[in-house]
């Protein structure tokens, strides 16, 4: 993998980390997204973060959370509001990437969400995140999943 590609991948990974934190904060506080983003940018070293991707993830997941929840509900074993806040934020971000970023392989989306859950979530939440997003990928990425077999 070229150094430029690695840097791009790392910058997107960092964008996801900050975005899931921002989504979590919004879920808990309902503070305006632009305030969350401004504070995050002011309080953190963001020079190695894909800022446009961070902005997109944070704003679009929050703006479209009801549609994302509707995608998730059929593959969940409980109500969306009954989920742990970190799990909910991570699932919403993963659902958004599965739906809107077809250029990112579904396995990468799952791997990134699992890593976020391992970093921020409870002991076994990464297993739950993996199962839910894998089921969601069955419908959103059916053709891609068939090719991977």
Given this model, what pLDDT does residue 144 score?
A: 81
pLDDT tens figures, 70-105:
999 999 999 999 999 999 999 999 999 999 999 999
Given this model, what pLDDT does residue 8 score?
A: 87
Q: Among positive and negative, which fits the CA dihedral 74, 76, 79, 85?
A: negative
Residue 124: phi and psi, rounded to 5, are -115, 15
Given this model, what pLDDT does residue 113 score?
A: 98
pLDDT tens figures, 7-45:
788 999 999 999 999 999 999 999 999 999 999 999 999
15 contacts 53 by C-beta, under 8 angstroms: yes
pLDDT tens figures, 104-127:
999 999 999 999 999 999 889 999
Q: State the chain's mean pLDDT as an integer.
A: 94
Q: At 65, list the tokens.
A: 């959370």
Where do we find the tokens 């970093």?
Answer: 119
Residue 27: phi and psi, rounded to 5, are -60, -40
Inform me whether the pLDDT recorded for 138 exceeds 70: yes
Q: CA–CA separation, 101 vs 89, rounded Å? A: 17
Given this model, what pLDDT does residue 104 score?
A: 94
Overall number of domains in the chain = 1
19-91-28 Cα angle (round to 5): 60
Closest to 95 in 3D by CA, of 126, 50, 37, 141:
141
Q: Which residue has the higher pLDDT, 131 or 147?
A: 131
Q: Provide the 10 A C-beta neighbour count for residue 86.
A: 21
The three-class DSSP label of residue 102 is: coil
Given this model, what pLDDT does residue 149 score?
A: 65
Q: Where residue 35 sits, what CATH number does that domain have?
A: 1.10.940.10
Cα atoms in the Cβ-side hemisphere of radius 13 Å centred on 41: 12
Write out the DSSP string of 32-68: -HHHHHHHHHHHS--TTS-HHHHHHHHHHHHHTHHHH
Print the domain residue range for 36.
3-148
Q: What is the pTM of this model?
A: 0.94
């Amino acid at each position: 993998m070229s150094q430029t590609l690695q840097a791009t991948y790392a910058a997107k990974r960092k964008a996801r980390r900050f975005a899931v934190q921002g989504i979590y904060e919004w879920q808990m506080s309902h503070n305006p997204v632009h305030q969350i983003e401004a504070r995050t940018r002011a309080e953190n070293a963001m020079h190695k973060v894909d800022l446009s991707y961070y902005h997109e993830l944070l704003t679009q997941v929050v703006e479209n959370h009801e549609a994302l929840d509707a995608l998730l509900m059929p593959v969940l074993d409980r109500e969306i509001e009954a989920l742990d806040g970190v799990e909910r934020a991570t699932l919403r971000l993963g659902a958004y990437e599965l739906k809107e970023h077809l250029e990112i392989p579904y396995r990468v989306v799952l791997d990134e969400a699992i890593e976020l859950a391992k970093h921020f979530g409870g002991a076994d939440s990464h297993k739950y995140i993996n199962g839910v997003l894998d089921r969601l990928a069955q419908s959103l990425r059916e053709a891609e999943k068939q090719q991977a077999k």
